[in-house]
Amino acid sequence: MRVLVTGASGFLGIAIVAVLAEYGHHVTALTRTGRPVPGSHRTLTGDVLDLASLDAAVADVDGVCHLAALVRARESLEEPARYWRTNVGGTVNLLDALARTATRARPKKIVLASTAAVYGHSGRQPVDEEAPLWPGSPYGTSKLAADQAAADVAATGLVGAVSLRAFNIAGGMPGHHDRDTTRLIPKILAVQAGHAGELVVNGDGSAVRDFVHVLDMADAFARALDACEPGEWRPYNVGSGRMTSIRDVLVAAEQVTGRPVPVRHGPAAPEPPVSLADPSRIQNDLDWRPKRSDLPQILTDAWSALPARPPDGQR
């Protein structure tokens, strides 16, 4: 297929471009900078808030992996309008462009990067796709609205859509690491690499999360793209289904890096004690498996992907 990837220069975007290329797809990367993305056939400069650039970008593609979004839940509490403008407005612009360039003889496909944040502080664990939708931040509500917009446009029959609701994406690939140190694993490894002094843990470290390797997530996108059916929208939860506490991550990080993690405990944050995916639906429907998502592999790949680090004793 000819596939457009929006937000292609991000942590997940680069991995998706690489995996789609391995699947044999002809990939166009859309970024705001226009810098070439490894594995893509071409890179376009554009923005999902610019309708003109989207019309040109989707005109000759068969499908889109839509990643361009704002993704920090806490930041969204301070800037809700910005999150709605980008996450909802940008998605609606893209869906509009797709629908206008599709025909019933040649429908188009879209796979959206959604989030487990649409479920909020669900008491139902592990979380399947039937769990109550109760997002607790503008980030979550904007992503849920984007999912609904995709479902409504898909209902016209011009588009087939899938929303992949990711839990915690982590890991790395050669030459490419996660630069967002607001996330737990990049923050820990920044400390271990000497780029930060300590890790502040909210609470006692007993909170449980579900981590999925970035390359496993990218593989889910490739499989979902193949599975899109005109007239349908389907959500899938994507996670390893493995319970991992913050303490578990700290222990594994020390084993992988060979260094103790300096930790300072702060007050517990108003966050769910457990957030765990039930990935049964995507496993059954798309034959997807989290092949790289065991914790040691995630941390090893993330650590190996970091730029040159100071040697032990010189941090």
Active site residue 139: yes
Q: How far apart are CA 125 and CA 151, in angstroms?
A: 25
What are the helix (H) ranges across the chain?
A: 11-22, 51-58, 73-78, 80-83, 90-101, 138-154, 184-192, 214-227, 246-257, 280-286, 295-305
Residues 209 and 170: beta-carbon distance below 8 Å: no
Strand pairing report for 208-209 and 244-245: antiparallel
Single out the catalytic residue among 23, 83, 119, 139. Answer: 139
Residues 123 and 106: beta-carbon distance below 8 Å: no
Backbone angles phi, psi at 23, to 5 degrees: -75, -10
N residues, the chain: 315
Q: How far apart are CA 239 and CA 165, in angstroms?
A: 9
Residues recognised as catalytic:
139
